[in-house]
Structure 1
Amino acid sequence: MKVMVVGANGQIGKQVVEKLQHSEHTVTAVVRKQEQVNEFKNKGIEAALLDLEGKVDSLTEAFTVADAIIFAAGSGGHTGPDKTLLIDLDGAVKTMEAAEAAGVERYILVSAFDADKRENWNAEMRPYYVAKHYADRMLEQSKLNYTIVKPGGLINENALGKVTVGVDAEPSTITREDVADVLVASLEEANTYQKSFNVVNGTLPIKEALKNL
């Protein structure tokens, strides 16, 4: 499967790209700066320079070679609500529109724990949750074969390899590497198709947990 990772220079995106590079899939890292393109190409990884604040047509043209899109992009914690809306919401929706127009069926989106439950949102991060909430809803209303992965609090520790998913996932943390593993494992796991689920570190191996969704 030819997979394009949008937000490939982010903390989760980088790990997704590295894992796909050493899998049966082929990967293209989608980034927003030329120096990032150069860094990936120096590692032998195909890369594409695309602007999520640009036109959908440019994204569509790039996506025509893909079988799947993994959207792991984000405006980051150092930007304001305006960038959150432009990247986490509008940027995500643009890639959905482009994927549909390009004939890409498989689309995986990184969201946030309980993004569908307004009453559980962190007050200090409301713009972020608003963006995730509506991006999720737009994906669910699309024609794409989607999976929405909603991780708990992200931590930078070594992967544990075990998770709890769906309704059994209580608010907790998950390593970024485990999120990356969930995204890659979801690509061809039919039980994740057309589903949205919370995920935290837990008790089951990732592939087993996804099969039990």
Structure 2
Amino acid sequence: MNNTCLALILTAFCIPAAQAGEWYGSAKLNSAHQKLSDALLTSPRVTDRVSNPDSNKRISGSLALGHAFSGGWRLEGEYTSRTHANFDSHWAPFEANVNRLKIDSQRLMLNAYKDFAVNDWLSFYGTVGAGVAQIDAEGYQGNKSRRFENKRQNNFAYSAGLGATAKLTETTSLGLGYRYVDMGKVETGRNSFANRINARDEQLKGKLSDQNLFVEARVAF
């Protein structure tokens, strides 16, 4: 992830000084609703999924550094702190055994914003972003001694959202918004436990997304 992070930061911040506008820093508090879709247990001995993984709600934070341009455009680099989520599923004919997928995720994104001013102090905006999500996935089957090994992935992530900003002073703003983030396909390592045929042929998989409501404080400098 380090090389990708460096590239995103350089892209976001190597902006000619001659551009109109100002630099700013922002902090967001996110109510993150993570969801795992297309859940899969890759075992040839299961027949079908009995119960789907639950979604998870967590609180996370993010920090960003950006530049505001003329015409209501902004560009920023944003880091979202690590978030932990658990997803449980049951599969026939072994529905008594829970399969728990444990995911830790963090993101570095390059975001573009377009502000639409209503008056001197209130504006609405739309935003899109792209970047990298670093995901650690592991799990267990039945109990914690029957582990699926940890696997780290650096996935392409993209986002879209909208929000509103209220200008409090010449340099300080508060805002709130909604954002959808797609973090791609995730999977654990293989089973480290001995299954019925003593084979390492099982994994937990799925597609990870994040919907979050957030509040934001932004300071220009």
Relative to the length of structure 2, the TM-score reads 0.23
Bigger radius of gyration, 1 or 2?
2
Higher helix share: 1
Higher relative contact order (CA 8 A, sep 6+): 2
Q: Which one has a larger percent strand, Structure 1 or Structure 2?
A: 2
